[in-house]
A and B are shown apart, each in its own frame.
Chain A
C-alpha cells in the first residue's frame, strides 16, 4: 500500500471514530433539548410547592415527590455510606488472603445486578414482614444499589494516598488504627466524596426498585413506615397516564430530576478537580 493510501485510511478511520463519538453523545443533547422545551413551560412555583391535584383537576405540583426523593436518598446514604466506606478501606488496606478478592468480586457483581432484582430483594426482606410498602424499604433498596459504587471508589481513592504518608505516621509511633482514621481517610476524603456523589446521582434517578418498596404516595411524607412519593415514580406514573396535563408535569418532573442529577454529578467533578491527578 502506498504511504498516501495509508494516510488516507488513517484520516477516514479517525473521521469514522469521531462520528461514532458524536453519535454517542448526541442523544444527551437531543433529550436535554426536549426536556427544556417541554419541561420549562410546565415548571412554575406551584410545581415546587404544591401536592398533586386529584385526577381531572388542572394544576398542582410534585412537591411531595421532590421531598420524598430527598428523604429516600438521605435514608439510603445513612444505611449505605458507613458500610461502603469501611468496606472500601478494608479492600485497600487489608492483608487478608481471600476475603478482599471475594469482596471485590462480589461488589463488582452486585454493581451489575439489575436494580429491579434489588427491589424484589427489598420487598421480600422488608415489605413482606412489615406487610406494608414503606420509605424504609425504598431507602434500603437504594442503599444496596449505592453500596458497590461507594466500596469500589473508596478503595480506589484510599489506594491513591501515598504510602510515604502512612510510613511517616507509623514511624512516629502512631498506632495503625489512628493512622487509617486520622491520616489516610482524611487524605482520601475528596475522592471518597466524589464516589459518594456519583452514587447519589445514580440512586436519585432509580425507579424500578421503588415500584414495590416505596410505592409512591400522593400526599406528604407520613413516616418512614409508610409509602412515600418519589420523583422518578411520579414521572413514570404521569408519563403512562392518559392526561395531557399530567404529561406536561412529567416533563417538568424529568427536567427537575435531571437538573438534580447533573448538579450532583458536576459537584462531584468540582470536588476532586486538581486534588489527585490519578482520578481520571
Chain B
C-alpha cells in the first residue's frame, strides 16, 4: 500500500489564524469554567461538611435526634420527609404527567397542542414561593376542613390516615410537590414521545390499529426508557424543591407514619435553620445535608439524562 506523504501542516487541526486561536481559546475556557464550577461546588461542600461527617459518620443518616443545643445531629427525619413527600408527589404526578404527555403528543387534535403545551410551560414557570403561598392559605385549610376529615372517616383504619387534621403536613407537601413536578414530567415525556420515529406509528396504523393502540404498542413501548427518565427528572425536582414544601409541611423533625402529621425535609431544614446556625458544627451538619441532597439529585439526574438521551439523543436540549 502506497502512502502519499501529506505535508504536516495540511492535517493540522489547530487553526492557523490568530483570531481563530483566540476565539477557540475563549470558547473552550467557557466550557472549562462550567465544568470547574460544578467541581468547585463538590469540593466546597465536601470541605465544609467534613467536620460533621467526621464527628457523626454514617450514624448521621440513621439517627433521628436533631438537637442544636447539645450539638447532636441526626438527619433521619429529614431524609424520611424528603423521600416520603417526593414519592407521594410522584404517585400523583406520574399518571397525570404521562397521560397529559400522551394527549399532547399523540391523541390531541392538532390545533389544541401548541396552546396546551404553552400552558404546561407556564405551570412550570410559576415560582415556588407562590405555590407555597397558595398552599398555606388555600390548600392547607381545604385539607383541614374537608379532605382530611373525609379520609380519616373512610380510610382511617390505615395508619396512613390517622391523627388530627392539621392541614399542613406530609399530605399537603406531597400535593404541592405533585402540582410542581407534573409540568416537568409532562414536558419531558412529550419530548420523548415526539422523538419516537414516525415509522413506528405508520407501521401500527397501517396494520389497522386505532390511535390508542398505536400509542400503546408502537410509541410507548419504543419510548419506555425515555419516559422512565422523565419520571426520574421529576423525582430530582421533587427531592430538591424547597420553598413551597417548607411553607406547607409543618417543619417538625419527627418520623411519623401518618400523612396527616407534620414532617420536615432536607431542603426545608437548610432553608429554615441555615442563617440561625450558631456553631460551626451546626453549620457543617446542615451543609452535610445539602451535600447528601446534591449527591442524590446528581445521581437521579444523571440516570434520567442517560435514559432520556437513549431515546432522543444528547444533542437536543430537553428544556425544563
Q: Let me know if A14 is at the binding interface, CB within 8 A.
A: yes
Query: Are the CB atoms of A89 and B100 closer together than 8 Å?
Result: no
- Interface residues of A toward B: which range? 35 or more
Q: Let me know if B27 is at the binding interface, CB within 8 A.
A: yes
Smallest CB gap from A178: residue in B: B19
Q: Let me know if B66 is at the binding interface, CB within 8 A.
A: no
How many CB-defined contacts (below 8 Å) exist between A and B? 286
Q: Let me know if A161 is at the binding interface, CB within 8 A.
A: no
Q: Let me know if B153 is at the binding interface, CB within 8 A.
A: no
Closest-CB distance, A1 to chain B (whole angstroms): 10
| CB contact between A208 and one of B13, B128, B304 (< 8 Å): that residue | B128
Query: Are the CB atoms of A114 and B28 closer together than 8 Å?
Result: no
Closest-CB distance, A52 to chain B (whole angstroms): 17
Q: Let me know if A83 is at the binding interface, CB within 8 A.
A: yes
Q: Let me know if A90 is at the binding interface, CB within 8 A.
A: yes
Cα separation A107 to B34 with both chains bound (whole Å): 7
Q: 8 Å CB contacts to B: which residues of A89-111?
A: 89-91, 93-96, 99-111
List B contacts of A102 (CB < 8 A).
35
Q: Let me know if B132 is at the binding interface, CB within 8 A.
A: yes
Query: Are the CB atoms of A20 and B41 closer together than 8 Å?
Result: no
Stretch in A23-31, A43-51, A70-78, A217-225 with 4+ CB within 8 Å of B = A23-31
Smallest CB gap from A209: residue in B: B242
List B contacts of A165 (CB < 8 A).
none
List A contacts of B106 (CB < 8 A).
17
List A contacts of B48 (CB < 8 A).
124
Q: 8 Å CB contacts to B: which residues of A16-63?
A: 16-21, 23-25, 27-28, 31, 34-35, 38
Cα separation A80 to B295 with both chains bound (whole Å): 24
Cα separation A273 to B70 with both chains bound (whole Å): 60
Query: Are the CB atoms of A211 and B107 closer together than 8 Å?
Result: no
Smallest CB gap from B113: residue in A: A21
Query: Are the CB atoms of A235 and B130 closer together than 8 Å?
Result: yes
Closest-CB distance, A67 to chain B (whole angstroms): 18
Cα separation A93 to B31 with both chains bound (whole Å): 12
Chain A residues in the interface with B (C-beta under 8 A): 6-7, 9-10, 13-14, 16-21, 23-25, 27-28, 31, 34-35, 38, 82-83, 86-87, 89-91, 93-96, 99-118, 120-121, 123-125, 144, 147-149, 151-153, 155-156, 159, 175-178, 180-181, 198, 201-202, 204-208, 211-212, 215, 232, 235-236, 239-240, 247, 250-251, 254, 257-258, 261-262, 265, 269, 280
Chain B residues in the interface with A (C-beta under 8 A): 13, 15, 17, 19-20, 22-24, 26-35, 37-38, 40-41, 44-45, 48, 95-100, 102-104, 106-108, 116-123, 125-134, 136-138, 179, 182-183, 186, 210-213, 215, 233, 236-237, 239-243, 247, 267, 270-271, 274-275, 287, 290, 293-294, 297-298, 300-302, 304-305, 314-317, 319-320
Q: Which 10 interchain pairs have the tightest Cβ spacing?
A: A114-B240, A205-B127, A20-B99, A112-B301, A17-B103, A86-B30, A90-B27, A152-B317, A177-B23, A208-B242
Q: A89-B27, A144-B37 are in contact. List 17 more A-B contacts (CB 8 A).
A: A17-B100, A18-B108, A20-B99, A21-B104, A21-B116, A23-B96, A24-B182, A35-B134, A90-B28, A103-B31, A112-B237, A112-B320, A121-B44, A175-B17, A177-B17, A205-B129, A250-B133
| 26 intermolecular pairs with C-beta atoms under 8 Å apart | A17-B107, A24-B120, A24-B183, A34-B134, A90-B31, A91-B31, A103-B31, A109-B301, A111-B301, A113-B294, A114-B267, A114-B294, A120-B45, A120-B290, A176-B17, A178-B19, A198-B319, A207-B243, A208-B267, A211-B271, A235-B133, A239-B137, A240-B136, A251-B133, A254-B133, A280-B117
